[in-house]
Amino acid sequence: MTEQTTPSTDARSTEPLDRVLNIAAYRFVTLHDLPSRREQLRALSNELQLKGTILISPEGINLFLAGSEKSIEAFLVALRSDAPFADMMVKQSWTSYQPFKRMLVRLKKEIIAFGVHQVDPRVATSQKLQAKQLKEWLDQGQPVHLLDVRNDYEIKLGTFHAAHSIGVENFRDFPKAVESLPDKWRSEAVVMFCTGGIRCEKAGPYLEQQGFKDVYQLDGGILKYFEDVGGDHYDGECFVFDRRVAVGPDLCESETEQCFACQAPLSLDDQQSKKYVVGESCPYCFESPDEQAWRRRGERQEMLLQVTSPLPGSIPYDNIRPINVPLKFDKHRLLDCLDGVHPHVGRDTWDALCRDGRIRFNGQAVNSDRIVVAGERYENCIPMTTEPDVSSGVQILDEDETLIVVNKPAPLPIHPCGRFNRNTLIYWLNHVYAPQVIRVAHRLDANTSGVMLLTRQRWVASQVQPIFARGEVAKTYLARVSGVPQQNQFAVEAPISREPDAGGFRRIDENGLPARTEFTVLKRLDDGTSLLRVVPKTGRTNQIRLHCWHIGTPIIGDNAYLEGHQFGTRQTLLPSEPPMCLHAWKLGLRHPVTNDDREWVAPPPAWAGETPEK
């Protein structure tokens, strides 16, 4: 906001001892050749070592300057030599310090932003009301509506008795706010006022265009009123737009400060608050740790929505998939390496991709007979890729400087793999938290929903991942299974294969990795299914799904481990298909940095019915 904030030249009969002269002035007048005017004013101000702001636009000039008396006088002589400003009057005051930090000369569309082209103070303004006349009206109790057109944060410091606040955070909102004024005011006297008068130059004509018949503007604003009649009928101080922050009816700087963070003016009482930390916060912007966390989560959720709307993998793109040469294929043919690293693709397919120029090294197509070296990185270029749809409703449950906890929807893969690259949780979170690289602390299958922990820094990942590996994490799942277990509580101990088979499935393997899962029946349902609380004591791939399948109660919706000990033909579901009824419900661990115990809970999905035991 730009307002006049200083009293006029005849405000004091004696010159103050302070030696920094402040001036403020505006004039609505048609100006041309604005770039040239800007350069002239900038050169002049810098030459005279002035500081402040000058705004020029096609509709006029608005200025606030401070410097030595000699420099200010020289500036005014030069300014008034320009015909549009020949008789321009200024308001002035004295301070013991320079209230401005730098010198700015800016070109603007308007010298006071309003945005209503039909209002032009060069053509017409409302009738001016002198300060002494207003005081006389108020002394006599003359019926008049006082309308404060300033922003709410300014009015907080003070205003006239019984004045009506227009209720805006920005003057450009004034036209909309006028709609809420009482209809009866249209035929009654309305006196509007602001800091120095410039806002009323536009607010008054706008009110008249809206049918208000008897509109006045306080000439010179609040500061002129203070200068001419003092503080009668006024409560508090007047906010000003420089380092003084506010002045009292004596036009002297008050003890009001301004918050560095939110720019709110702060009274002495405000400054005594424990929430006031210089340069950081005040009672009006202070946030408790919980409030800060809530705000951050809201901001992240909005960013996630932007990243996933539309799903990034739904837009065709050239997908570059890296292929690194392991040591065991050093000095082998490229085709042997490709087929050995990714045998599920098929040797003939890899050969065809090489012939089509899709396999590249350093951006150049290579043939399948090329001899590779361990550590080389090749690329499989898949043009115009589109990915299958996934569920995008990721919910951020918690975050701090080190960890992120989300409620992952399903189906949603975690890492780029197979048909999925951009439609993955890690791809989205890396965009939301850039430039940080997000790392997973544990796994959840694409078709499994619920609590998932991720880390924001490499060193944190190195602390958290071993916690999971050592089994020092309390994990609780909900599962809805086909069938009705006879026991209320039971455990399954069945080793799981170390590697997937050719179809990508794990199996129960007596020579595999030891695995234990504990089950509690929460509900036995009329449709022949059961709701189980599941606690995995080890962390093998597909462990819960495979153990449920092994005992003849496969998880509802699991398209990999089917009833009758059969295997499916694909891994990841589509969002349009019935969900797999496995949900990571709770996750508890000791925080790797703060060392306090934490537990996160992801609300049960609809298939779990009413919220089960806590």
Measured distance CA(513)–CA(301) in Å, rounded: 39
Residue reference for tokens 């975690």: 414
22 contacts 91 by C-beta, under 8 angstroms: no
- Six-digit token string for 419: 């048909």
Find all residues with CB under 8 Å of 204, minimum gap 6, and list them. Answer: 125, 126, 192, 215, 216, 217
The residues annotated as belonging to the active site are 194
Residue 602 CB-density burial (10 A; 0-12 exposed, 13-18 middle, 19+ buried) = buried
* Contact present, 220 and 75 (Cβ < 8 Å): no
CA atoms 230, 236, 241, 243: torsion sign? positive
Three-state secondary-structure class, residue 415? coil
In whole angstroms, give the CA distance from residue 188 to residue 204: 14
Provide the CB-side half-sphere exposure for 594 (13 A, CA): 9
Instruction: Find, among 19, 141, 14, the residue nearest to 72 by Cα.
Output: 19
DSSP state of 529: E
Residue type (1 letter), 12: R
**Beta-carbon contacts of residue 27 (< 8 Å; ≥ 6 apart):** 60, 61, 84, 85, 88
Element (H, E) at 348: helix 347-355
- Take residue 328 and report the two structure tokens written for it: 């065991």
Strand duo 189-193 + 145-148: pairing? parallel
Separation between Cα atoms, residue 524 and residue 532, nearest integer Å:
9
d(C-alpha 377, C-alpha 383), whole Å? 19
